[in-house]
Structure 1
Amino acid sequence: MQATRTPQDDHAPTSAQVLIVGAGPAGLSMACALADAGISSCVLEASSLAALQDPAEDGREIALTHKGIKVLQGLGQWQDLPAAEIAPLRRAHVFDGDGLGDPLAFDAQGSGREVLGQLVSNHWLRRVAYQGALKRAALISIRADSRVAGIELGAQAASVSLASGERLTAQLLIAADSRFSNIRRQAGIGVEMRDFGRSVIVCRIQHSQPNQGIALECFHYGHTLAILPLNGDCSSLVLTLPADRATAMMAWDDAQFTQWVETELRGRLGEIASLGARHLYPLVATYAHRFAAQRLALIGDAAVGMHPVTAHGYNFGLYGVELLAGLLGAAKKAGQDLGESATLERYASAHRRNTWAIYQGTNAVVKLFTDERQAARLLRRGVLQMAQHLPPLKAAISAQLTGRRPGLLGQFQSLMRG
């Protein structure tokens, strides 16, 4: 297989054992993890080289669990992040309905840690993933402006046909090309898709009162408003509402928009001012029917595309990277074919165990807390009150937020035994 090693070198050809489609943070992190296991890869990306080298700010802030941070540290990416770009998530307060009552509060107490997690901008995660790939140029080749036209998953190898007419072959193909994965579709893998009929508006805001590192999740009637605490006197606003209403609000000027936000926050952060552009994203969750096929593995959003309310999306991507790289590294040491079905099935089974319950639970929470019927309003209020007065249940939720063990199921089992 012919590929360029990195965008900066002399375009010397290399032979890669694995093809990765998608040079987002999941795809590039996968390449880095494989390189650390001595496995060469070629990363194919449809967008331009400039977009990889200097990722645009897209309004998204990623909440990283301690487990996700550990994966990034192992890849050397966490160390490349400027300290000013890492914001601690100390506590989370959940409000329901009119938002006037006491919140359900979560913190890291009992976890042995000071914070629930850390917040990092998505474009910075993309940047350090790309830098990590460049540091491993001997084993990673990156090809921008490379659109995949077709794939072939054979018994002996996986092949990719590019729009340019070029054909590339390797032992294994990994899809990391978004929740709307073209590779997944071409492989004939279906997906459970939940279109919530809603959109998310994200932007940064400035406020006159300190956020104290506290995330606010306000399940108001008709919309959900979340505040993610950043460093200094600013935060990230994540507003979820019906798609038609979101489109209309995107047309508001800054004064109208910030006044509305200030009102909805009930004065919690004082006076609000807009910082930068607003970004609009459709809200769709996906879960692939299979995470592996012959000579193919799915990672990142191509495997699981989460609703952002529980902040597990990119963390799941990192867990999948660590898991798959570990299995492939072991296969390499044993002299096995990297595309062997047994290895891929072990990955698929383990990643499903790690993600399925949280995916379904997240969607159930979203369904309940966006249901405006009176019975649902009473039920969601009761759920929050129960969590407030049952420490084991509250601890279970906090355990999932911090990514520590035991997991949510284990905590519930302990609660039932008690």
Structure 2
Amino acid sequence: MNLHSDIIIVGAGPAGLSFAAELAGSGLSVTLIEKHPLATLQNPPYDGREIALTHVSRETMQRLGIWQRIPADEIYPLRDAKVLNGQSSYQLHFPPPTQALGGPADCLGFLVSNHNIRKAAYEAVAELDNVTLLCDTGVAAAQTDLQQACVTLDNGNTLNARLLIAADSRFSQTRRQLGIACDMHDYSRTMFVCRMKHTLSNRHTAYECFHYGRTIALLPLEEHLTNTVITVDSDKAAEIEAMSPEALAASVQQQLEGRLGEMELVSSIHAYPLVGMIAARFYGTRCALVGDAAVGMHPVTAHGFNLGLASADILAKLVLEAERNGKDIGAQSLLSQYDTKHMLHAKPLYHGTNMLLKLFTDETPPAKLLRNVVLRVSNNLPPLKKLITKQLTG
């Protein structure tokens, strides 16, 4: 059996679905391949992850019909953000911006649960006539040449297309099959995510607490409900896993010195080994990488999906322009242009994040001193602070 479409997308995560949604009304036929069953796409399970969305991402998601499908009472404003270092009470503070995309702003961005983004993105794509979704289906092999891209499914069927898109995670097998190398960084740390209720208001303020030995990030949801992210060296992960819900909440409360009052675990706990990745290039012959298949960010800023959404948006605009002008949507020149545009933003963000993480998880005396200096300089240089705020807001 031999199927054919204009574009094949491997991976129906948020980035792959967003790219498919960009092609609505284009006349391009799209085949979307996903290893998970349809029921999982329709109702993705809660996975503990909260995604910080910029004003730019909100505008893109509104245009794609995704934002409107997220329950309004589960979109949480992120008013401002603060960074703490070690035992010092000094705070690097990012206040609400005065301006963002579309006009005045009163918050840095928005927090939305990953499972809600996935569900809304699926619902937007499910209504499109030009998208065929193949669920519960794996890719056995992927290859391309100057004429076409070819994918062989686990069941032996082959699909041919003018362009192949890999959107199947930072551990993308499709990227590997296409011969695109990557720089993968194992941080040797494990992240635990859960929701905690507390007696004092979080004031819709996010905190990144680089305490010695254990990092805690606080992502405000409701006024008395916060997504709590605990990061430890992986050899200490078993200690966290062995804690009772009461003991874990008490340990976080103690580490925060009662900043949020009494704390209570109110959700399941999810653990993720931290691995970052950036591909050596974001394209090959008649193929391109989007989302985490291109860049898998460390979640310290919770902004990884903003980068993935940007990659889908950049590539889709180039593809749509080529199609309108009767040009080849898989041309090397088009894909090279995508690579240049996305790499310009992704590469410095990826390496810059890694550099800061290395500094703020280094507990040698010189590093501790430098960490304090970096916070104070960032806080007291308006141009630098404005630049960082622009990154946070998109």
TM-score, normalising length from structure 1? Answer: 0.91
Separation in 1, partners of 2:33, 2:61: 22
Tell me, what secondary structure is at the counterpart of 1:35? Answer: coil
Query: Are residue 135 (structure 1) and residue 137 (structure 2) matched?
Result: no
- 1:36: how far off? 4.0
User: Structure 2 residue aligned with 1:23, among 12, 23, 26?
Assistant: 12
Distance in 2 between residues matched to 1:390 and 1:152, nearest whole Å: 50
Name the CA distance, whole Å, in 2 between partners of 1:329 and 1:388.
Answer: 42
Aligned-partner Cα distance in 1 for 2:365–2:390: 31
Other-structure match for 2:178: 187
Q: Is the 8 A contact 1:37 1:325 kept in 2?
A: no
Instruction: Determine if contact 2:98/2:106 at 8 Å carries over to the other structure.
Output: no
Number of aligned residue pairs: give it: 390
Instruction: Find runs of 4+ consecutive structure 1 residues off by over 4 angstroms.
Output: none
In structure 1, C-alpha distance between the alignment counterparts of 2:40 and 2:392, rounded to whole Å: 31
The alpha-carbon deviation at position 211 of structure 1 amounts to 0.9
Is 1:109 equivalent to 2:101 in the alignment? no
| Cα distance change of structure 1 residues 115 and 185 upon mapping to structure 2, 3 Å threshold | same
**Structure 2 matches for 1:9-408, cutoff 5 A?**
15-98=4-87, 100-111=88-99, 112-136=104-128, 138-403=129-394
Aligned to 1:413: none
Alpha-carbon displacement from aligned partner over 1:180-224 (angstroms, at most 9, x marks no partner): 000000111111111010010000000001111100110001121
Cα separation, 2, equivalents of 1:339 and 1:395: 38
Partners of 2:92 and 2:348 in 1: CA distance: 22
The runs of 5 or more residues in structure 2 that have no matched partner are none
Which whole-Å deviations, capped at 9, do the CAs of 1:3-33 have from their partners, x for residues lacking one? 7xxxxxxxxxxx5210000011111111111
State the secondary structure of the residue aligned to 1:108.
coil
1:59-105, Cα deviation, whole Å (9 max, x unpaired): 0000001111111011010111111110000010110001x413111
Q: C-alpha deviations, 1:323-374, integer Å up to 9, x for none?
A: 1110000010111121111111111110000211111110011000000100
Q: CA shift at 1:312, angstroms? A: 2.5
Long gaps (5+) in structure 1: 4-14, 404-418
SS of equivalent residue, structure 1 residue 276: coil
Aligned to 2:328, the other structure's residue is in SS state coil
Counterpart of 1:131 in structure 2: which amino acid? E
Percentage identity across paired residues of the two chains: 46
Q: Secondary structure at the match of 1:57?
A: coil
CA separation in 2, counterparts of 1:117 and 1:39?
Answer: 33
Cα distance, 1:239–1:36 mapped onto 2, change above 3 Å: farther
Counterpart AA for 2:229? V
Contact 1:203/1:279 (8 A) holds in 2: yes
Conservation of the 8 A alpha-carbon contact between 2:96 and 2:107: yes
1:113 CA drift (Å) = 1.2
Contact 1:175/1:298 (CA < 8 Å) preserved in 2?
A: yes
Q: Deviations over 1:232-269 (max 9, x none)?
A: 42010111110121232112110111110000111110
Give, in whole Å, the separation in 1 of the partners of 2:351 and 2:242: 34
1:407 match: none
- Aligned residue for 2:23, secondary structure, equals helix
Give yes or no for contact 1:38–1:329 (8 Å, CA) kept in 2: no
Distance 1:357 1:92, change over 3 A: same
Corresponding letter in the other structure for 1:106:
F
With structure 2 as the length reference, what TM-score do the two structures score? Answer: 0.97
Partner SS, residue 277 of structure 1? coil
Query: Aligned partners of 1:263 and 1:387: how far apart in 2?
Result: 28
Partners of 1:34 and 1:169 in 2: CA distance:
18
SS at match of 1:184: helix
Answer yes or no: is the 8 Å Cα contact 2:323–2:329 preserved in 1: yes
Could you say what secondary structure the match of 1:218 adopts?
Answer: strand
* SS of match in other structure, 1:282: strand
Cα displacement (A) at 1:38: 3.2
CA distance in 2, matches of 1:48, 1:123: 15
Cα distance in 1 between the residues matched to 2:328 and 2:82? 49
Partner SS for 2:268: strand
Alignment root-mean-square deviation, CA: 1.2
- Matches of 1:38 and 1:198 in 2, distance apart? 45
